[in-house]
Amino acid sequence: MEAEGETDGGGESQYGMSITVPIPAADNDLYRYEATDGVLRILADNPYEEFTIRELSRFVGYSHPAISNAVGVLESNALVTVSAEGNRKHVSIDRNRLTKPDDPVLRIPQSEFHAPVRTALDRLQDELADVVGILVFGSVARGEADRQSDIDLWVLVQSDRATNQRRANEIGTDLTETRFAGDRYEFQILVESARSALNVSDRLTDVLASSITLYETETLRRFKREVRSDAE
């Protein structure tokens, strides 16, 4: 998060995705709850979607009361919008507060990973068949990676998962031997088809919870909603 007006001078935050917080904060409990960062992360990566408290609890990994507390203080500070439908609350990011670079690679917090991720993204789109979505997840997406961290990528294809996985493995091996600004990186690339992915939706919850979307189509958006619906 950043204070109002804190950018690199070019109109975009220098820290990838960010959300603007007025000073002083309307509710001083803003930084109190551990679930807050996870809630903001999933909402910011899906700015046009609404999540229920139950869905956020599943994705972020905190109890319903913990999520409700975090959402309450975020709403008090005008960082999220909340609408009610019966007993359910639907939560979304306040897009007026969100700064999100148009180039999805620049949403990765640590700039040293931009070049290797961009190269992988280009090759996966060029060399795999029927790609409908690509995510980077794990420590690189969270901004917690070091030089020993793997670059974890998840690819959704329409069909022919096995063939695409083999090609992705070849791309990963090739990129591991490539130097970027003098450094090498390990790549772990997981490919799922729209059909196979739904059979492992529990595992994919962790992927989606700590991911940045690099390439998105309506098929990927529908798939995310299907995974979310399993939380209800």
Equal CATH topology for 19-99 and 104-230:
no
Q: If you ran DSSP here, which 8-state letter would residue 158 be given?
A: S
| Cα–chain center distance at 165 | 22
Pick the CATH number of 19-99 from 3.40.50.12780, 3.30.2270.10, 1.10.10.10, 1.10.510.10: 1.10.10.10
> Whole-prediction pTM value?
0.81
* 46-81 confidence digits (pLDDT tens): 999 999 999 999 999 999 999 999 999 999 999 999
pLDDT number for residue 72: 96
pLDDT number for residue 231: 55
Domain boundaries, the chain: 19-99, 104-230
Secondary structure class of 217 (helix, strand, coil): coil
pLDDT in tens, the chain (232 residues): 554 433 333 334 444 788 898 888 888 888 789 999 999 999 999 999 999 999 999 999 999 999 999 999 999 999 999 999 888 899 999 999 999 898 999 999 999 999 999 999 999 999 999 999 999 999 999 999 998 899 999 999 999 999 999 999 999 999 999 999 999 999 999 999 988 877 776 778 888 888 999 999 999 999 888 888 765 5
Nearest to 80 by CA among 32, 34, 21, 24: 21
Kind of pairing between the strands at 151-157 and 187-193: parallel
104-230 has which fold?
Answer: Beta Polymerase; domain 2 (3.30.460)
Cβ atoms of 59 and 225 within 8 Å: the answer is: no
Backbone phi, psi, residue 163, to 5°: -65, -45
Cβ atoms of 43 and 90 within 8 Å: the answer is: no
